[in-house]
Amino acid sequence: MSMMETLGRVRAPDARLPFARPPSPRRHHPLPMPPLDWNEDVAKATAHLYERVKTVVPSIEWPFFAPYIVAINALKKQRNAVILAHNYQTPEIYNCVADYVGDSLQLAREATKVDADVIVQCGVHFMAETSKILNPGKTVLIPDLRAGCSLAASITGEDVRVLRERYPGVPVVAYVNTSAEVKAEVDICCTSSNALQVVESLGSDTVIFLPDQYLAKYVASQTKVKIIAWKGACEVHERFTGDELRLYRDSDPSLAIIAHPECPPDVLAEADFTGSTAHMIDWVRAHKPKRIVMVTECSMADNVQAELPDVEFVRPCNLCPHMKRITLPKILDSLVHMREEVVIDPAIAEKARRSVERMVHLKS
């Protein structure tokens, strides 16, 4: 039986910055804006890329995307840059300009292995921060600084310090969907793939787990460790309901349903499999079901569909408004002007790195 307690904000957030302000971004020289015409040369140069996405990108949209794709791929070479794209990015980004794709941690780890000066993070702000934390020597850009996350926004470093005062000696685990400032205050980070392993690795009968209350519930259902959870939620995954999935299942009993653990428990109860975005993709590759509902952000189904055209994806389409702020024109602008650079106070980055690296070095 699971043991769990859920907390919200226990004290108004401290308006003062807990650490010094981050240093200003460096100045970079802009490059000329490349031409963005649709012509025969562009059509020829991108034909192989359109092949990859033709099942999910209508042909009428390609003349708009293709000139940006050519320009971005050329500018990456000029800037010695790589593009990291999260599984929730749109197919033309994920399949046509990204160098590495995956979940946030896979991306940041990949970035540590590449010989690039610049990382363009096509995802949300906490992911760009994680890339910077693990790659402090590289310039990390995010094409739209407003690409946030409801989970990361639900908790501050001050909240964590208050929790520690309230539960002295209880270890604190933070999901990677948190700001650098929060990562700097916790003992260890986790992802949705390794949350249970991280919680059990601490050897404590009680653990504070933040900020996702649903992931915390999922972990609590699988362990004897008592979980003290934070009341945060992903605004995309919490919109799914068990009723909605039962309707799909009733209309086609052979339908496969797989869900992300950020979903509420009544949704997970309807799923044939629960796992992180990376594990969900592996499940579809391994099982190749005839029809499937992937209960997660909508673009992921498009990206897996492009790879597995024989699988039919039934789409209850919940889009993440923050992920969708990243577009081809903004990526191009980012590479031309080298903006927006992600800058973290070195003292925060150092402490946050310890929490992330402690997770990375955990033996599986």
107 with 131: CB under 8 angstroms?
A: yes
Q: Cα–Cα distance between 132 and 206 in angstroms, integer?
A: 31
The answer to the question of residue 149 lying near ligand SF4 (CB under 6 A) is yes
Tokens of 153: 């926004």
Q: How far is the CB of 313 from ligand SF4 (least distance, A)?
A: 18
The answer to the question of residue 174 lying near ligand SF4 (CB under 6 A) is no
- Name the DSSP class of 239: G
Q: Cα–Cα distance between 334 and 156 in angstroms, integer?
A: 28
Distance of CA 86 to the CA centre of its chain: 6
Stretch that binds ligand SF4, among 188-196, 229-237, 245-253, 305-313 (CB under 6 A): 229-237
CB nearer to ligand SF4: pick between 76 and 260: 260
Contacts of 335 (CB under 8 A, 6+ apart): 31, 72, 75, 76, 79, 81, 120, 141
The answer to the question of residue 87 lying near ligand SF4 (CB under 6 A) is no
CB nearer to ligand SF4: pick between 171 and 211: 211
Q: How far is the CB of 86 from ligand SF4 (least distance, A)?
A: 8
207 with 171: CB under 8 angstroms?
A: yes
Number of shown-chain residues binding ligand SF4 (CB under 6 A)? 12
Tokens of 87: 């599984």
Given 90, 156, 177, 327, the residue binding ligand SF4 (CB under 6 A): 177
Q: How far is the CB of 127 from ligand SF4 (least distance, A)?
A: 8
The answer to the question of residue 322 lying near ligand SF4 (CB under 6 A) is yes
The answer to the question of residue 154 lying near ligand SF4 (CB under 6 A) is no
Sign of the dihedral defined by the CA atoms of residues 236, 237, 241, 244, in that order:
positive
Q: How far is the CB of 250 from ligand SF4 (least distance, A)?
A: 27
Given 93, 151, 184, 352, the residue binding ligand SF4 (CB under 6 A): 151
CB nearer to ligand SF4: pick between 177 and 193: 177
Q: How far is the CB of 206 from ligand SF4 (least distance, A)?
A: 25
The answer to the question of residue 297 lying near ligand SF4 (CB under 6 A) is yes
Q: Cα–Cα distance between 321 and 236 in angstroms, integer?
A: 9
User: 151: closest CA among 199, 112, 190, 94?
Assistant: 190
Using alpha carbons only, how large is the chain's radius of gyration in Å? 21
Given 172, 236, 267, 284, the residue binding ligand SF4 (CB under 6 A): 236
Pairing of strands 291-295, 273-274: unpaired
The answer to the question of residue 235 lying near ligand SF4 (CB under 6 A) is yes
Q: Cα–Cα distance between 333 and 290 in angstroms, integer?
A: 40
Q: Cα–Cα distance between 304 and 302 in angstroms, integer?
A: 6
Given 121, 150, 201, 274, the residue binding ligand SF4 (CB under 6 A): 150
Q: How far is the CB of 179 from ligand SF4 (least distance, A)?
A: 12
The answer to the question of residue 144 lying near ligand SF4 (CB under 6 A) is no
The answer to the question of residue 234 lying near ligand SF4 (CB under 6 A) is yes
Q: Which stretches of the chain bind ligand SF4, using CB under 6 A?
A: 124, 149-151, 177, 234-236, 297, 320, 322-323
